[in-house]
Amino acid sequence: MTDPLFQRIAIIGIGLIGSSLARAIAEQKLAGEIAIFDASAEARAAAHELTLGQVVDSLAAAAKDADLVILATPIGAYADIGPALAPHLKKGAILTDVGSVKQAVIRDLGPHVPEGVHFIPGHPIAGTEHSGPRAGFADLFKGRWAIVTPVPGSDPTATAKLQALWSAVGSMVEVMEPAHHDQVLAITSHLPHLIAYTIVDTATQLETSTQSEVIKFSASGFRDFTRIAASDPTMWRDIFLNNREAVLEILGRFTEDLTAMQRAIRWGEGDKLFETFTRTRAVRRGIIDAKQA
């Protein structure tokens, strides 16, 4: 029998992402043991019932002796978790996370990380609109990308070990600058969610009679937005508050482009509409070719 990649992995926050990781780590035998802590008693009870690992009652108990600690809570919780967790981290341990924003995470956690602990933030590009430990599944990360964003001075050996974990659960791994991560995700994820939330909200403000028709006839485009706009409100509030600049910058570009489309519609500029609608088809082709469809 070969040794597992880590002796003890602690997962803090056992929701969709944390519980999917717990399942995938167990399935791939990547840890001698998995310790789990979650602030929610309900989530802890579910994790226990689902036998996702050894469920403990405190951050300290989870972190004790762990050689890998993974934060998988909404990122707004990091500012509290950082100082509470830090004293319990083992020398030589790796501290990582799965949060959807990286610069703010480094700002909030970085200062608390003790000497000798390897802090290497991360972010799996995989998810669903569901939440909680029961929504997770081991295959969530298969064929998807995981981004790892080492900070200046991160130990290459520790980074390689974290990359090995993501590979082992089925992901392709990309190493990226934290600032660049936040820009790319602002366009691929944060702006699409903001727009989906907004359009669904616009619909909820119509007269009641029209609202029920919107639901009835949603198959014509709208329903895809409602799925995105059903994502967890806490998680998404935290993302927008913590990636403000990159989101506002890309939102500015988007509204300029939308104004140009509005103008083309108002003035009946069919050619301009046709050109735009033709250009965008190529992007779909790219995604299909990249097997991310």
Q: Footprint of its own copies on residues 189-218 (CB under 8 A)?
A: 189-206, 210, 212-218
CB 185 within 8 A of CB 118: no
Residues 134-173 that bind its own copies (CB under 8 A): 144-145, 147
Q: Which does 142 bind (CB under 5 to 8 A by kind): ligand NAP, its own copies, none?
A: none
Identify the residue among 7, 27, 39, 287 touching ligand NAP (CB under 6 A). 39
Q: Which helix (H) or strand (E) holds 86?
A: none
Is 182 a binder of ligand NAP (CB under 6 A)? Answer: no
Coil, strand or helix: which one is 96? strand
Distance CA 34, CA 54 (A): 6
x-marked contacts with its own copies along 107-126 as a string, rule CB under 8 A: ------------------xx
243 binds ligand NAP (CB under 6 A): no
Beta bridge pairs of residue 123: 147
Instruction: Give CA–CA dist 168/28, Å, rounded.
Output: 7
Assign residue 263 a region: left if phi > 0, alpha if psi is -120 to 50, beta otherwise?
alpha
Number of residues that bind ligand NAP (CB under 6 A): 28
> What character string, x for contact with ligand NAP (CB under 6 A) and - otherwise, covers 104-123?
-------------------x
What is the DSSP pairing of strand 145-148 with strand 122-124?
A: antiparallel
178 interacts with ligand NAP by CB under 6 A: no
66 makes contact with ligand NAP (CB under 6 A): no
Q: Is 196 in the site for ligand NAP (CB under 6 A)?
A: no
How many residues bind its own copies (CB under 8 A)? The answer is 93
User: Looking only at residues 123 through 142 of this chain, which bind ligand NAP when binding is defined by CB under 6 A?
Assistant: 123-124, 127, 131-132
Considering beta carbons, is residue 18 or 53 the nearer one to its own copies?
18
Q: Which stretch, 15-23, 63-71, 88-96, 249-257, contacts its own copies (CB under 8 A)?
A: 249-257
Distances (CA, A) of 243 to 71, 158, 189: 18, 27, 11
**Length of the chain in residues, anyone?**
293
How many distinct helices (H) and strands (E) make up the chain? 13, 9
Distance of CA 85 to the CA centre of its chain: 21
